[in-house]
Amino acid sequence: MKKLLCALLVLVTTMSFIFTGCSGNNDNVIKIGINYELSGEVASYGQASVDGIKLAVEEINKAGGINGKLIELVEYDNKSDKAEATTLATKLMTRNKVVAVLGPATSGAFKATIPVANENKIPVISGSATADDVTVDANGVKEYAFRICFNDSYQGIAMGQYALNNLSKTKAVIIMDSSSDYAKGLAKNFNEAFKAGGGSIAAEEAYVAGDTDFNAIITKIKGLDFDVIFIPGYYQEAGLIIKQAREQGIDVPILGADGFDSPVLLELAGASNLNDIYFSNHYSSLDKDPSVQSFISAFKAEFNKEPNAFNALGYDLAKFVIAGIANAEGEVTGESVKTALADTKDFVGVTGSFSIDENHNPVKAIVVIQLTDGVQSSSERVSQ
Amino acid sequence: MAGFFKKSWAVKLVSLASVFILVQLLISAGFIDSYIQATIATICINIILAVSLNLITGFTGQFSLGHAGFMSIGAYVCAIITLRIGTTGSFILGVFAGAIAAALVGFLVGLPTLRLKGDYLAIATLGLSEIIRIIFTNLKITNGAAGLSYIPRFVNWFWIFIFTVGTVLLIVNYIKSSHGRACIAIREDEIASEAMGINSTRYKVTVFTIGAFCAGIAGALYASYFYDIAPKTFGFLKSIDVLVIVVFGGLGSISGSILAAIVLALISTFLQSFSEIRMILYALMLIIIMIFRPQGLMGSKELSLSLFKKAGKLFSKKERV
Amino acid sequence: MIKIEQFLQQVFNGITLGSIYALVALGYTMVYGIIKLINFAHGGIYMIGAYVGYFCMTFLKIGFFPSLLSAMTICTLLGVTIEKIAYKPLRNATRIAALITAIGVSLFIEYGTMFFVKADVRSYPALTGLLAQKFAVGGFNVSMLQVLILVITVALMFLLQITVKKTRIGKAMRAVSLDKDAAELMGINVNSTITFTFAIGSALAGAAGVLVGIYYTSINPLMGTMPGLKAFIAAVFGGIGLIPGAMIGGYFIGMVEVMVSGYGNSMYRDAVVFGILILVLIVKPAGLLGKNTREKV
C-alpha cells in the first residue's frame, strides 16, 4: 500500500515538475506542427513527406515569409504509432501553439488526431491519407480535418474503368497488401467497378508489407486464366512483384495506383521488366508545366534524387496550408486558418490544381501514367 | 485484502483520495492541460500492463512475450461495444467484457503452453500474440488492417485512476497472499515447490489468467482514450515495450514497475524534440542502463515511506552542517 | 501436368527462401547454444550485411564474391564488437537483462543505420553475365541466382559443420555450450570461444544479407526484424542449439510459407507458421531434433 502511495506521489510531483516549463512565444513567426512517421514501420513515407514540406517552407521563408512573418516548423516523430500521434497532436496544439498540424502520412494515424483537432479548434491536414472516411463519414464532415489527395475509391474505380474501357481487359487478378487499409480500399473499389463494368476477378491474393518473396503467389496465379493484374500497394513490394512476375513469364499489363510512384520502382523491377505498366498518380514528371519542372529541379538540387509522390504531396501540402494562413481573415488562429482552407479555390500545385469541396476533399483530376522500358511513355488525364 | 484493512487503512484511503482530488483540481483549474493528461493516461496504461506482466514474469518466473495480444483483445472488445452503444455504461461493460475475454483466451492458451519453460514459453506466447494480431487483421468485425476509428472517449482521470489503483491493489494483494508466496516459490525452484505440495500448473495458469485480465483492462482504456486502434498497434514491439518497463523497474518489484513506467515515459517525452535521433538515443539509454544496472532500478526491493524518511533524515543532517 | 510443374516450382521457391532462413537461424542457434541468449541484434547484423554488399557493389563496383566476403568480414567485426561492448559485461547478470540489452542493440543498429541511409528502400544493382542467366528445367524456371544461393548456403553449412565437429575450436565450442564452468576448468578459454561463436554467426548473417540483396534486390533498415524472428523460430523448431536443427528448421519454415501462399490463403501465412511452432513446442518442446531432457534437482 505504502509503495503505491509513494509511487503516486512521485508521479504527481515529477509531472508538475517537468511540465511547468513552457516555451516563450515569438510574434514574428507562425508555427506549423509536423506530426509524421519518422521512425517505425512506415518511416519512409513520413520522411519523404517531411522532405517535401521542408523544401516548400524553405522557399517561402527565403522569399520573405508571409505577411512579414516567417514560418517555423515544430517537428515531432510519432514512431508510426497511433497513440503517439494523438499525444503529439495534443502537444503541438496546446503547448507549441501551432496554427495547423501537418500529417501524419497514413490514414489510421491521421484519423487518430482528428478528435484532438476538433477539440482544440486547430486544423490537421494530411497529404497522403487516402482512406474514404478520413474527412467525412456517416456522422458528417470532420470540421477540422482536410486532405489534398484523392481518396481510395476514386482511384480504385478509375483504374477499374481504365482496365475495362481503355485497355479492354475483362479478367483480372488482384495482388494486394493486406496489411494496409490503403491497399484494401483500392482493391475493394477496383473489384466493384471492374465487376460492374462486366469484368470478372480470377483471383485475389494478398501479401504483407515488408515481404520480399512473391514467387509462391506468382507461381499459383500462373495457372489461371486472366489478362490483367492489379497491384494495390506500395512501390517497395510492387517493384518486386513486377520483377518476379515478368521473370516467371507473365506478360499481361499490370496496373497500380499512386503507391507505384517512386524512382525506386524502376530500381527494384529493372527497366526491361517495366513494360505495359499503368498506374494512377497525382502528377506526371512529363508535365511540361513550369511549376512542376521547377519543383523537380529544386528537389534534385536539395536532396540529390528524383522526387516521389510523397515528396510532391508534402511540398504541395505545405504550400496549401501556408496559402491558407496567408488568406486567413483577421488574426491567424486555428479557426481562421480552417475557414480559409475550406474556402480554397483553384490552388495551383505540383500535383494538380484543385479546389476544396464541402467534404474537405480536393477536386482533382487523376493522371494515368504508362511505363515503357521503365520510363514514362505517356500520361493521360482521366475524369469520372 | 487483509493487509489492506489491518492497520491505518483509513490513512491510506484518505491519501489515495487526496491524490485523486489534487490531480482532479489541477485539471479543472487548467494547470494540467490535455497534453499532460494524455501523458498521464499513457503512463497509467503502461503501469497496468507492466504490473500485470511483472506478476507473470517477475514473481512467478514465467517469461511471456505475448502481453500485447491480450491487450488487443481488451481493446477490440471494448471498442466494438462502445461503438455500438456509446454510453458510459457501455464503456464500463466494454472494459469488463474485454478483460474477461482476454482472461478467457489467456486461460485457454495458458493450459497447454505453460508446461513449457523459459525461452520456449516466451516464443510460444510471442507466436500466440502474432496469431491474435493476424486474426484481427483478417476479421470483418474488427475492420481488418484499418482497424476501428473514432471510438468515443469515455476515459477520464477518474476512470484511469480507478482502474490503475484497482489493478495494482489486486496484484499487490495477490502477491501478499499465500497464493503469491506459492508463485514466488515456483519462480525460485519449481521442482522443490512441487515437492512441497504446490500445484505449479494451477498457479501458473491462474497468474497467466490474471495477467491477461489486467492487460485486457489496459487495452480497453487504451482504445477508449486514443480514439483509434489497429492490429499493427499491438505488434511484437508493444510486448517488448512492456517487458522493457518491467525489467528496467526490476523483476519482482511492483513499485519498480510503476517508477519505470513513469521514468520511461518522461525519457520518451524528453526525446520528442530530437525527432531524427530519438530511437537511437532510446536504444543507447537502454543498453547503458542494462550494463550498469542489470537488476533494474529497484532490483526486487520495494519503494516505501521509510525510505523517504531515511532520505529526509539524511537531508536534514546535511542542512545542519 | 501443369499441377506437378507448379508444385515443383513452389518447392524450389521454398528451398530458396528456406536457405536464407537457415543461414540466419544458424547464427541464432549457435549463440543461444553457447550463452543461452536470444540475440535479437542478429537481424540487425543481417541487415548490415545487406547494406555492406550494396555499397560494395554499387559504389566500389567490386564483383559479387568480393562483396560477399567484405560483408562477411564487416559483420564478423560488428558481431564481435557487440559481444565485447554490450553482452560481455552482462555475462553474469540475469538472462532477461541480457535479452533487453540485445533488444537495445538491435534498435540501435536499425535506427543508427536509418539515420545514415534514410528509411526508404534501396535496390541492388542488376546482375550481368553468368549470374543473370535463367534456364528452364522441364516446365519450370530456375535462375542462376537461385542455384547460387543454394550452393553458397550448403557450402557454408558444410564448412560450419566441419569447423564444429573436426577442429579444436569447434570442440571448445561444444564443450562451452555443454557446461561452461567445466569447460573453463579443463583449460578452455571461454571468452575467446564465445567471441569466436559470435564471429561465425555474424559472418553467416552477413552472407545471408548479401544473398537476400541480390536475390530480391530490395533492402531497407528494418528488413532484419521479421526474417530475424522467423529464423529464430526456425532454430527453435529444429531444436535450438543444434546446427542441423537450424538448417532443417530454416528449410521447413521457408517451405511452409511458400506452400501456404501457394495453395492456401496467403493472408494466414504467418499465422500458420506460428501455429505450427506452438504445436511443435507443446508436443516436443525441445524441437524436432532436440532430446527431451528430464530436469534434475
Best of A173, A212, A224, A251 to substitute, by most chain C Cβ atoms within 10 angstroms, is: A212
Let me know if residue C171 belongs to a domain: yes
Q: pLDDT category, B289, cuts 50, 70, 90? A: confident
- Is the per-residue pLDDT at B318 higher than 70? no
Answer yes or no: is C147 within a domain. Answer: yes
**CA C96 – CA B295 distance, rounded (Å):** 10
The beta-carbon neighbor of A268 closest among C13, C218, C259 is: C218
Do residue A167 and residue A263 come from a single domain? yes
What's the N-to-C CA distance of chain B in angstroms?
A: 45
> Residue C185's domain spans which residues?
17-232
d(CA B23, CA B3): 27
Q: Give the single-character DSSP code of B229.
A: B
Label the pairing between strands A375-382 and A366-372.
Answer: antiparallel
Query: Do the domain assignments include residue A10?
Result: no
Contact call for C281 and B123, based on CB within 8 A: yes
A206 touching chain C per CB within 8 A: yes
Q: Do A142 and A226 share a domain, yes or no?
A: no
pLDDT in tens, B27-40: 888 888 888 999 99
Phi, psi torsion values for B235, nearest 5 degrees: -80, -175
Any idea which architecture B33-320 has in CATH? Orthogonal Bundle (1.10)
A121/A177 same-domain check? no
Of A126, A333, A19, nearest in space to B38 by CA? A19
User: Is residue C279 one of the residues assigned to a domain?
Assistant: no
Mutate to test the interface with A, among B275, B277, B305 (most CBs of A within 10 A): B275
Per-residue model confidence (pLDDT) at position B306 = 58
Which residue in B22, B25, B34, B238 has the most chain A C-beta atoms within 10 A of its own C-beta, making it the best mutation to test that interface? Answer: B34
Task: State the pLDDT at residue A25.
Answer: 53
HEC profile of chain A: CHHHHHHHHHHHHHHHHHHCCCCCCCCCEEEEEEEECCCCCCHHHHHHHHHHHHHHHHHHHHCCCECCEEEEEEEEECCCCHHHHHHHHHHHHHCCCCCEEECCCCHHHHHHHHHHHHHHCCCEEECCCCCCCCCEECCEECCCEEECCCCHHHHHHHHHHHHHHHCCCCEEEEEEECCCHHHHHHHHHHHHHHHHCCCEEEEEEEECCCCCCCHHHHHHHHCCCCCEEECCCCHHHHHHHHHHHHHCCCCCCEEECHHHCCHHHHHHHCHHHCCCEEEEECCCCCCCCHHHHHHHHHHHHHHCCCCCHHHHHHHHHHHHHHHHHHHCCCCCCHHHHHHHHHCCCCEEECCEEEEECCCCCEECCEEEEEEECCEEEEEEEECC
Say if the Cβ atoms of C271 and B247 lie within 8 Å: no
Q: What percent of chain C has pLDDT over 70?
A: 96
Among the listed residues A176, A149, A180, A150, the one whose alpha carbon sits nearest the alpha carbon of residue A41:
A180
Residues A161 and A245 in one domain: yes
Burial annotation A144-175 (CB, 10 A radius, 16+ → b, else e): bbbbbbbbbbbbbbbbbbbbbeeeebbbbbbb
Whether C205 has a pLDDT exceeding 90, the answer reads: yes
Report how many domains make up chain A: 2
The per-residue pLDDT for range B145-189, each reduced to its tens digit, is 888 988 999 998 999 999 999 999 999 999 999 999 999 999 999
8 A C-beta contact, residue C261 and residue A203: no
Predicted local distance difference test score (pLDDT) of residue C2 = 56
Number of helices (H) and strands (E), helices first, in chain B? 14, 0
pLDDT tens digits, residue range B37-93? Answer: 999 999 999 999 999 999 999 999 998 989 999 999 999 999 999 999 988 899 999
Q: Which residues of B touch A87 (CB under 8 A)?
A: 35, 38-39, 42
Residues A272 and A167 grouped into a single domain: yes
Q: How many CA atoms lie within 13 A of A5 on its CB side?
A: 17
- Together in a domain, A100 and A159: no
Is residue C115 situated within a structural domain?
A: yes
Q: What does the alpha-carbon distance between residue B281 and residue B267 come to, in Å, rounded to a whole number?
A: 10
The residues near A132 (Cβ < 8 Å, ≥ 6 apart) are A151, A152, A153, A185
> Are A271 and A237 members of one domain?
yes
CB atoms within 10 A of CB C108: 22
CA distance C27 to C247: 11
Q: Does residue A242 fall inside a structural domain?
A: yes
How far apart are the C-alpha atoms of C8 and A10, rounded to whole Å? Answer: 64
Chain C residues within an 8 Å CB radius of A178: 266-267
Q: What distance in Å separates the CA atoms of residue A14 and residue C59, rounded to the nearest whole number? A: 51
Alpha-carbon distance B198 to C59, whole Å?
A: 65
Lowest mean pLDDT among B161-175, B185-199, B306-320: B306-320
**Alpha-carbon distance B163 to B94, whole Å?**
13
Q: How many CB atoms lie within 10 A of CB C182?
A: 11
In a domain, C294, yes or no: no
Residues A78 and A132 grouped into a single domain: yes
Helix (H, G, I), strand (E, B) or coil at B136: helix
Structural contact between residues A118 and A142, judged by C-beta atoms closer than 8 angstroms: yes
Nearby residues of A203 by Cβ (< 8 Å), 6 or more positions away: A173, A174, A220, A221, A224, A226
B168-190: burial string, b at 16+ Cβ within 10 Å, e else = bebbbbbbeeebbebbbbbbeeb
Same domain, yes or no, for A145 and A162?
no
Indicate if A112 and A204 belong to the same structural domain: no
Q: What is the mean pLDDT of chain C?
A: 88
Distance from CA of B203 to the nearest CA of C (A): 19
User: Per-residue confidence at B192, pLDDT binned at 50, 70, 90?
Assistant: very high
Tell me if chain C has a CB within 8 Å of the CB of A179. Answer: no
Q: Is there a domain that residue C66 lies in? A: yes
CB A106 within 8 A of CB A131: no
In a domain, A11, yes or no: no
Look at residue A70 and tell me if it is in a domain. yes
Least reliable range by pLDDT among A9-23, A25-39, B274-288, C206-220: A9-23
pLDDT of residue C138: 67
What b/e sequence results for C281-290 when a residue is b if at least 16 CB atoms lie within 10 Å of its CB, and e otherwise? Answer: beeebbbbbb
Rounded to an integer, the average pLDDT of B242-253 is 91
C-alpha cell at C251: 528449410
Radius of gyration in angstroms for the set of CA atoms belonging to chain A, rounded to a whole number: 22
In this structure, the number of other CB atoms found within 10 A of the CB of residue A118 comes to 15
What is the model's pLDDT at position A384?
53
* Closest-approach residue (CA) in chain B for A114: B150
Q: Are B119 and C285 in contact (CB under 8 A)?
A: no
What pLDDT band is residue B321 in, cutting at 50, 70 and 90? very low
Q: Please check whether residue A13 touches B, CB under 8 A.
A: no
Dist CA A371 CA A98 (whole Å): 42
Return the closest-CA partner of residue C236 out of A308, B90, B275, B118.
B118
Measured over the CA atoms of residue B160, residue B164, residue B167 and residue B169, the dihedral's sign is: negative
Strands (E), B2-152: none
| Residue A3 within a domain | no
CB spacing of A240 vs C218 below 8 angstroms: yes
Give the pLDDT confidence score for residue A337 in this predicted structure: 94
**C142: helix, strand or coil:** strand
| pLDDT at residue number B7 | 56
Q: What is the CATH number of the domain that holds A271?
A: 3.40.50.2300
Q: Tell which residue, A355, A167, A170, has the closest CA to residue A279.
A: A167
Tell me how far the alpha carbon of residue B204 is from its chain's centroid: 18
Q: Tell me, what's the pLDDT at C292? A: 65
* C86/B287 CB distance under 8 A: yes
Chain centre distance of CA A52: 12
Residues pairing with A369 in the sheet? A279, A379
pLDDT at residue B4 greater than cutoff 50: no
Q: Is A37 left (phi over 0), alpha (psi -120 to 50) or beta?
A: beta
Chain C CB within 8 Å of residue A215 CB: yes
Q: Tell me whether residue A382 is in a domain.
A: no
A378: CB partners within 8 A, 6+ apart: A286, A369, A370
pLDDT at position C5 is 78
Q: Say if A208 is an interface residue toward chain C (CB within 8 Å).
A: yes
Domain ranges of chain B: 1-32, 33-320
Query: Around Cβ B17, how many Cβ atoms within 10 Å?
Result: 11
Q: Write out residues in chain A with pLDDT < 50, as ranges.
A: 1-2, 5, 8-9, 12-13, 15-24
pLDDT tens by residue, C86-125: 999 988 888 888 888 998 999 999 999 999 998 888 888 8
Within a domain: C293: no
| pLDDT value, residue C291 | 73
Examine the domain organization and report whether A196 and A259 are in the same domain: yes
Candidates B278, B282, B125, B127; CA nearest to B204 is: B125
Number of structural domains chain C divides into: 1
**Which residue range forms the structural domain that includes residue A114?**
27-150+291-364
**Residue A1 included in any domain:** no
Nearest chain B Cα distance for residue C297, angstroms:
7
Q: Say which residues have a Cβ less than 8 Å from residue B305's Cβ, sequence separation at least 6.
A: A2, A5, A6
Distance CA B43, CA A14 (A): 12
- The size of chain B, in residues, is 321
Helix (H) or strand (E) holding C135: strand C134-137
Please report whether residue C183 resides in a domain. Answer: yes
Q: Which residue has the cell 485484502?
A: B1
Position A126 scores a pLDDT of: 95
Regarding whether A106 and A136 lie in a shared domain, the answer is yes
Evaluate the CA torsion angle B219, B222, B223, B229 in order and state its sign: negative
Q: What is the pLDDT of residue B311?
A: 54
